[in-house]
């Protein structure tokens, strides 16, 4: 028999997106559902972003700027780097795939905290490379163990701070020591900062500030969370220009669509909305944390826009009860944390509805 499909993908399970929100609500006989399961923006994008998308809609018959030039220049200015140090992706998800495509060969190793954001291991598996999983120490990334996972065959180390789904951060000084311990010929180090805008702990590192001294570092960020553009799919990586040049070799010419580029640019320009989202999430995270603690629930301190709450054997029943009250939360078991639920920080109204249902 002619062999068509690559062996490496035979164990990869297709992503199951679940039912759309309106279908779920209709099936459950509920008027509306509040989704606190996907770490989305609690309100939605800024009015300025919506106007930019509407304006741009007239031009959707034209291919987008394949280099996302305006957006890259604006981001470069905001971050204090050169525009050649930035690549845009169809969500940060795509950038992980580009990295795997450009760098990982069968037999290569990639060190990854476990559990963590699932696409890390998926892209490694698709490349036929080997994921070296480093167990979390409780809810924290164990940098000592991560270091021990690094061998001569290691192509990359992936760190996620704030961590999804734990919400914890890698602290600045331990991160610097970890980077130093990788030696003079380090592998690539991906620092996924998808949730960084929600950090208020001064000990939280700024990956972009470390680029000048760590040439193999790749910082990944996204407009999905802070800017409320999850549906527009715009993420970016910041790294040395040579790394970005390699990633550009495997990028499709028009990977970020016209509406996404216009929306992201408008979001960057609307600094006030960006800040107000940050304040809203930090304030509501504190409110939810306080109220959950008061009710005896435990969870690691979160620097992200979600909490990983421990319910023990009741987790499934609690999730079901919340669903009947019109609130969707994420099953921790599916994320490597049985007995937990991952709950996104919502508006005050959504959070109070959640607390009432609990």
Query: Rule CB under 6 A: which residues touch ligand PLP?
Result: 39, 91-93, 117, 160, 164, 192, 194, 222, 224, 230, 235
Is residue 85 within 8 A of residue 211, CB to CB? The reply is yes
Q: Which of residues 127 and 230 has its CB atom nearest to ligand PLP in the complex? A: 230
Residue 104 structure tokens: 């990982």
In 10 A of CB 21, how many CB atoms? 15
Q: Which residues partner with 190 through β-bridges?
A: 158, 218
The smaller minimum CB distance to ligand PLP, of residues 30 and 126, is found at 126
What minimum distance in Å lies between the beta carbon of 165 and ligand PLP? 8
Would you say the C-alpha torsion 254, 255, 258, 261 has a positive or negative sign?
Answer: negative
| Least gap, CB of 31 to ligand PLP (angstroms) | 27
Rounded CA-CA distance 29/22 in Å is 10
How far apart, in whole angstroms, are the C-alpha atoms of residue 202 and residue 180? 21
| Beta carbon of residue 97, minimum distance to ligand PLP (angstroms, whole number) | 10
CB of 175 to ligand PLP, least distance (A): 16
Please report the DSSP string for 100-112 in residue order: HHHH--TT-EEEE
Q: Which is nearer to ligand PLP, 106 or 301 (CB)?
A: 301
Q: What six digits make up the tokens of 100?
A: 């795997």
Q: Between 97 and 315, name the residue whose CB sits nearer to ligand PLP.
A: 97
Each residue of 329-347: b (16+ CB within 10 Å) or e?
A: bbebeebebeebbbbbbbe
Task: Kindly tell me which of 186 and 235 has the beta carbon lying closer to ligand PLP.
Answer: 235
Is residue 63 classed exposed, middle or buried when 0-12, 13-18 and 19+ CB atoms within 10 A define those classes? exposed
Encoded tokens for 68: 């996302």
Nearer to ligand PLP, 91 or 186 (CB): 91
Supply the minimum distance, in Å, between the C-beta of residue 235 and ligand PLP: 3
Residue nearest to ligand PLP (CB): 91
Of 353, 335, 358, whose CA–CA distance to 39 is shortest?
335
Give the whole-angstrom CA distance, residue 48 versus residue 35: 24
Nearer CB in complex with ligand PLP: 117/139: 117
Minimum distance, C-beta of residue 71 to ligand PLP, in the bound complex (Å): 14
Q: Which is nearer to ligand PLP, 34 or 191 (CB)?
A: 191
CA distances from 7 to 114, 127, 128, 154 (A): 24, 10, 8, 22
The 10 Å Cβ neighbour count of residue 200 is: 12
> CB of residue 92 vs ligand PLP: minimum separation in angstroms?
4
CB of 117 to ligand PLP, least distance (A): 4
């Amino acid at each position: 028999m002619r062999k068509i499909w690559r062996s490496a993908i035979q164990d990869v399970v297709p992503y199951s997106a679940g039912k759309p929100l309106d279908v779920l609500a209709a099936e459950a006989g509920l008027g509306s559902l509040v989704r606190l399961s996907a770490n989305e923006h609690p309100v939605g994008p800024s009015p300025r972003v919506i106007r930019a998308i509407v304006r741009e809609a007239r031009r959707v018959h034209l291919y987008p700027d394949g280099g996302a030039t305006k957006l890259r220049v604006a981001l470069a200015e905001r971050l204090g780097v050169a525009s050649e140090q930035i690549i845009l992706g169809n969500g940060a998800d795509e950038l992980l795939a580009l990295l795997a495509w450009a760098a990982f060969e069968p037999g290569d190793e990639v060190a990854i905290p476990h559990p963590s954001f699932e696409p890390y291991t998926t892209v490694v598996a698709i490349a036929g490379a080997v994921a070296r999983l480093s167990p979390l120490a409780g809810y924290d990334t164990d940098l000592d163990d991560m270091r021990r996972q690094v061998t001569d065959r290691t192509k990359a180390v992936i760190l996620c701070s704030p961590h999804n789904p734990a919400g914890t951060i890698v602290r600045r000084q331990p991160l610097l020591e970890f980077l130093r311990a990788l030696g003079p010929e380090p592998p690539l180090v991906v620092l996924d900062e998808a949730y960084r805008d929600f950090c208020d702990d001064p000990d939280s590192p700024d990956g972009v500030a470390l680029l000048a001294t760590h040439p193999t570092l790749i910082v990944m960020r996204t407009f999905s969370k802070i800017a409320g553009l999850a549906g527009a799919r715009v993420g970016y990586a910041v790294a040395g220009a040579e790394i970005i040049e390699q990633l550009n070799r495997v990028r499709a010419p028009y990977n970020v669509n016209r509406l996404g580029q216009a929306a992201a640019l408008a979001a960057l320009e609307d600094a006030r909305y960006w800040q107000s989202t940050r304040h809203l999430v930090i304030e509501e995270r504190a409110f939810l944390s306080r109220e959950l603690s008061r009710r005896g629930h435990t969870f690691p301190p979160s620097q992200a826009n979600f909490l990983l709450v421990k319910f023990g054997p009741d987790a499934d029943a609690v999730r079901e009860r919340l669903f009947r009250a019109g609130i969707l939360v994420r099953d921790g078991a599916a994320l490597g944390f049985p007995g937990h639920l991952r709950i996104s920080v919502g508006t005050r109204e959504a959070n109070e509805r959640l607390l009432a249902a609990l």
